Chain A
Amino acid sequence: DAGVTQSPTHLIKTRGQQVTLRCSPISGHKSVSWYQQVLGQGPQFIFQYYEKEERGRGNFPDRFSARQFPNYSSELNVNALLLGDSALYLCASSPGQTYGYTFGSGTRLTVV
């Protein structure tokens, strides 16, 4: 049984560019959440999608957007990249909104 899969695993982008990160949840899980983890800190909540609707948004600028598809996979988009966006982006899937969160291996984004 596959876990949470994220792609790509690593990415290098230039300031001002745009990036799309992808996440496939565990089969049967309907909730996908995105977290940003800066080196040396705990993950910070960005978005949660449940049943294809946005259910929460953290304190991130409008440059960050996301969506969930009918098959419950999700994409995170970041526009106008800044150096400070360099981080590990983690996707977590869960059966519902309030339990059972499993993290993917993340996408390491480096902005130069």
Chain B
Amino acid sequence: GENVEQHPSTLSVQEGDSAVIKCTYSDSASNYFPWYKQELGKRPQLIIDIRSNVGEKKDQRIAVTLNKTAKHFSLHITETQPEDSAVYFCAALGERGSTLGRLYFGRGTQLTVWP
């Protein structure tokens, strides 16, 4: 099946700085890559996603880039704010056989934004 690796596991930045979280995946058939933000005790919330027919997608301060050849994708948060502090998960969606419809998650990145 798919294997998703996520780095770093923790990330501390000063308010206003940028934060970058990187993920790699193993199954070249995967075509959909969502990112979730999970605050303590709450549900994972989809913040941005990308399909393999595009290389980059932006939504205000958040952007995701995808390199299908290298099988890696990254989340970029600019002008970070304390309310961005949370655990961020990347995921890849299985697209074939027994993996179809399954989200494979990374282990998460604890982002802390200091005021």
Contact = CB atoms under 8 A, between A and B. Distances in A.
Interface of A: 31, 33, 35, 40-45, 48, 50, 55-56, 58, 90, 92, 97-99, 101-106
B98 interface: yes
27 contacts: A31-B101, A33-B101, A33-B102, A33-B103, A40-B107, A40-B108, A42-B6, A42-B91, A42-B105, A43-B103, A48-B101, A48-B102, A55-B100, A55-B101, A56-B98, A56-B101, A58-B102, A92-B103, A98-B100, A99-B32, A99-B93, A101-B103, A103-B36, A103-B44, A104-B43, A105-B42, A105-B43
Interface of B: 4, 6, 32, 34, 36, 42-46, 89, 91, 93, 95, 98-108
B46 A98 contact: no
Contacts of A42: 4, 6, 89, 91, 105-108
A97 B100 CA distance: 8
Residue with the greatest number of chain B CB neighbours at <10 A, chosen from A56, A101, A102: A101
Given A33-B101, A55-B101, A97-B100, A103 B45 contact: yes
Given A42-B105, A56-B101, 6 more contacts: A43-B103, A48-B102, A55-B101, A98-B95, A103-B45, A105-B42
